[in-house]
Structures are given as structure tokens and as C-alpha cells.
Amino acid sequence: MSQINPQWEKEIAKRRTFAIISHPDAGKTTMTEKLLYYGGAIREAGMVKGRKNSKHATSDWMEIEKKRGISVTSSAMDFEYKGHHINILDTPGHQDFSEDTYRTLTAADAAVMIIDVAKGVEAQTIKLFKVCRMRGIPIFTFVNKLDRHGKDPFELLEEIERVLGIRSYPMNWPIGMGSYFSGVYDRMKSRVELYQTGTQHEEISFFPVEGAEDPLIGDRVGQELWQQLQDEVSLLDVAGDDYDEELIAKGELTPVFFGSAINNFGVQTFLDNFLQMAPPPSPKKSNAGMIDPYSNAFSGFIFKIQANMNPAHRDRIAFLRICSGKFERGMSVKHVRLGKDIKLAQPVQFMAQDREIVDESFAGDVIGLFDPGIFQIGDTLCVGQAFEYEEMPHFSPEFFSKVMVKDAMKHKQFQKGIMQLTEEGTVQLFRTHPMEELILGVVGVLQFEVLEYRLKAEYGVDIMLTRMPYQIARWLEGDKAAIDALKNKIVTDRYGRPVMLFESEYQLRVAMDKHSSIKFHESSLGL
């Protein structure tokens, strides 16, 4: 490989690409907004929130989403901060939660997990966390809403470990909570960051101390809270986990920060620490071995396809994570699956609602490509020797419906529409055998409605959906004869892989006990 241009190397090394994972209402939007604010990418609060009611990207089927007050655009936001180029990947969290959200995590090099101090670890956080865990990316935790009364911090850490199976290292520790919230003690830098109600914490107000025992703390926050802090910090020092960069890098230990996003408290400290600890773009697996991000040759993969972002054009946008080298507008790349060269003429980046044409980008960045119908999730684009990145995983849907066309005369359009729309990746398609019935699986039920609407609007096809009682899908691997013996009970995914559907965890456990020669995978990763 030829020597990389040192300027590119610098550009790539300063990139930090991450996704924020949380349960709805934990504060993801608020946090994103504050981060963008620090990066100077927005000038006022409310700009990110505005996306939830965006008038911009309206089309009829998005109208469904709009009515429910859900964000419609979903993409990447980027900004420069203290010598870093930051890409935040948006992970839709409300009713529009879909498999896309999981897949977006495959394009992230790190994850930020936001937990509401009062609610602890919630359902959607668990699901998203599992995907991050599977990929072994580092996970940083921000415990939010310390200005409200919530769970005891020790109880929260215990919950994180018990429910998520990850150990934690509190980087700072709260001094009081709710109406007594006075600030945080920074264990790493031995300083106290003071919380003052009513301020927006434009400037961080902290003072250095000599450990938690420093009487200065008592002078500022009162004797009682100081005593409590000393007790808790000494307990942490004795009984807590040690700081271990290697475990953090592997996603086995999560650094934990406490703060209040809405009050802008602890956010900048979090960001500064995060940038120190989070990894730059790392090598990615392909069928030609690991691909070095610093390689001279451009490459990337499509991780998300979004339809109709601009209703006037009825176009699709394919989101590409650049994994190596440099992208330049107008460059010619190999579309490996199609075995064709294509020209990337009008790539875009997204900032809140606005599209902006990009001229150059580097490994770590995400760009949107106008898609005339040539891209599929998981497609690799590269320059030079052709190779393909690992296949994009599918994850277990939670809702299933049988789908049929109402008018048998429209069978052809129906097949075409179903194939094309499920290619976008928010709805999975399964086939029963020997009846060849079609079953759709989704992570969020809204996707059924969206699909129904789009089949009508874009293909002129009316469908009938019949909900099925399944809740879980498992990809089967192992003894072929044993899998074949289950024939009537299994369906196949769009690639013909055997999948079994279950109505409950109990059913799944029974099947696992009964068929010990078969592996039941939660996702199709690596199959």
C-alpha cells in the first residue's frame, strides 16, 4: 500500500463517530442539542427539537409520522470541536423505532448511553445496548436529570451491571440530588464542578480540590453533603471497579458521568472526556481482511436507506459510512455487488433539516447518496481492488403480520413493491414453507402502517395485514438434518436462511432445550 498523505491521516485521526442510545424521554434530543451547541453547529436551543415537527420533509406517508409528533429525518450531524471532527448518528427512538436504529449502530465507533436517573435502565436502552455489545464498541454512560430526585447512584450502577452485564467506572460522582443537587466531584481530575440553579452553565464553574476529603468542598456544598460524598467516594475507591482503558475500549467497562442535560450541567465535561477516550475510526472487517481506515483507497458501506426525504423528487437517500481513505465529490467508485463503476456526483450531509452538498469527506464520516434504486443495505463501495464489508446483520423483529394482496390481479406489483420496500431495511420479509406465504416482521408497529401506505401510494397496491402472535425470531445454525426436521415450523428470511418464530421467551427456551444441536441466534450477524 502506498504511503498515506499526512494531511488525510490527520483528518481521519481527529474523527469521532458515535450514536446516542437511550429510551424515549431520557434526554437524547436535549443532549444532542447541547453537544451541537458546543460545537457551534447550532446557535440556539430548540433547533434539534424542531425536527420533531419539521415542515420540511413532508410527504404523505410521513404525514402519518408527523401527526404522531415523531422525527422524520434521521441521519448524521457533524461538527468541529476542540480539534476533533464529530459525527453524531441519529437513532430514532419513539414510535418510529425500527431495525434501522439497530443498524445505525453498525456505523458507529462508540455509543453514548443516556439513562434517566429516576427510571434507570429501560427497555429500549437494553435492546440498543445489546447491539453495541455484540459489536464490542466502547459505551459511555451519561446519567441524566440529576436536578430531579432519582435512584441512589450505587443502586443505578448495580442495575447497569445486573441488567446490562457491563461493569462501570464513575468518572464523577454526584453531590446531592434533586433540590439538593450541588454538583459533581470529578474523580479523575480531583475537582468539583458546582451546580447552580437558574444558570445555563455557559461557563463551567469548578474548583480544584485535594480529594473528596478536602474541607473546601464542605465550605461550598455544606457539611452534610460533603460527609456523604466522602463516604460514597471511599466506598467506590474500595469496592468499585478500577479504571481500565483496555476494558473500556472493548465495551466491557463503561465510564459513567452524572449531570443534567437540560441545565447544560456536566455536558461539556462529558464531551471533553469522551473525546479523549473514544476511538477514532478503526479497521473494519471485510472479505479481504481488515480494512485500514488510513488506507489511501476510499471505501465504505451503506447502512441505511431512507425513502422520500424530499417529496418533490420521490428519491431515496442511501447513507454511506466511509470506512477508509478520502471521498471527493464526483469520484468514480466500484459498486461491488453490481460489479459496476458509478460516479458519486451529488453527495449530501445533513444538519438538522438542511442538506448540504459535500465536496470531500474522510473515513469516519457519513454521507448521503441519491439513490435511483441501485443501493441495498450492506452494499460496499470502494476504489481499487474490489472487496465487500461484512454483511449487515438483521435483528429479531418483535411484531409479525401475514401480508396478502387484496386484488390478486395486482400480484406482480405487490411482489415488486414488497421486495423493494423491504430492501430499505425497516421491515423484514419471511416466507413460510411449503405455502410460500409472506410474513412481515418489524421492531416498531408503525412500520406496518408506513409500508401499507407506501404500497398503496407508490405501487397502487392494497394489502391485507393479519397480525400474528409471534414476538421473537431466531436465526438457526447447526446440524442441517435437525434444522430440516423442523421444516414446518421454520420460515426463511429474504436470503433463504432458516428462521424460527416464537410467541414467547418461554417457547424459545423450550425449543432451545429440545434442540440442543441447533444454535438460536438473536441476529443474522456472521451467518
- Contact with ligand GDP (CB under 6 A) among 18, 27, 78, 273: 27
Does residue 22 bind ligand GDP (CB under 6 A)?
Answer: yes
Among residues 261 and 369, whose Cβ is nearest to ligand GDP? Answer: 261
C-alpha cell read off for 337: 455487488
User: Which grid cell is 119?
Assistant: 427510571
Annotated binding residue 145: yes
Stretch that binds ligand GDP, among 36-44, 255-263, 335-343, 486-494 (CB under 6 A): 255-263
Q: How far apart are CA 163 and CA 150, in angstroms?
A: 18
The reply on whether position 30 binds ligand GDP by CB under 6 A is yes
Among 4, 9, 13, 24, which residue interacts with ligand GDP (rule: CB under 6 A)?
24
Tell me: does residue 266 bind ligand GDP (CB under 6 A). no
Return the residue of 9, 25, 161, 252 that touches ligand GDP, per CB under 6 A. 25
Selected binder of ligand GDP within 28, 85, 103, 394 (CB under 6 A)? 28
- Can you tell me whether residue 33 is helix, strand or coil? helix
23 in a labelled binding site: yes
CA-wise closest residue to 19 among 128, 98, 121, 120: 128
**Alpha carbon distance 319, 303 (integer Å):** 6
Q: How far apart are CA 470 and CA 99, in angstroms?
A: 17
Is 92 annotated to bind a ligand? Reply is yes
The least CB distance from residue 142 to ligand GDP, in Å, is: 10
Q: How far apart are CA 377 and CA 393, in angstroms?
A: 10
Instruction: List the one residue from 115, 177, 261, 267 that touches ligand GDP (CB under 6 A).
Output: 261
Side by side, the strands of the sheet bearing 191-194 are 172-175, 183-186, 191-194, 206-208
The answer to the question of whether 410 is labelled as a binding residue is: no
Establish whether 283 is an annotated binding residue.
no
Q: Which three cell numbers stand for residue 216?
A: 473546601
**Shortest reach from residue 19's CB to ligand GDP, in Å:** 13
- Percent of the chain as helix, strand, coil, to the nearest 5: 30, 30, 40
Which of 124, 141, 260, 324 is in the footprint of ligand GDP by CB under 6 A?
A: 260
Whole-number Å distance between alpha carbons of 445 and 418: 17
Q: Which is nearer to ligand GDP, 52 or 402 (CB)?
A: 52
- Distance CA(173)–CA(238), nearest Å, equals 15
Q: Which is nearer to ligand GDP, 26 or 171 (CB)?
A: 26
β-strand 326-328 against 360-362: which pairing, if any? antiparallel
Smallest separation, CB 445 to ligand GDP (Å):
18
Q: Which of 11, 99, 147, 365 binds ligand GDP (CB under 6 A)?
A: 147
Which residue in 272, 383, 274, 271 sits closest to 327, CA to CA? 383
Range in contact with ligand GDP (rule: CB under 6 A) among 257-265, 282-290, 417-425, 477-485: 257-265
153 lies in the binding site for ligand GDP (CB under 6 A): no
32 is in an annotated binding site: no
DSSP secondary structure code for residue 35 in this structure: H
Closest to 259 (Cα-Cα) out of 357, 177, 159: 177
Annotated binding site: 22-29, 90-94, 144-147
Which residues are part of a known binding site for GTP?
22-29, 90-94, 144-147
List residues near ligand GDP by CB under 6 A: 22, 24-30, 93, 144-145, 147-148, 260-263
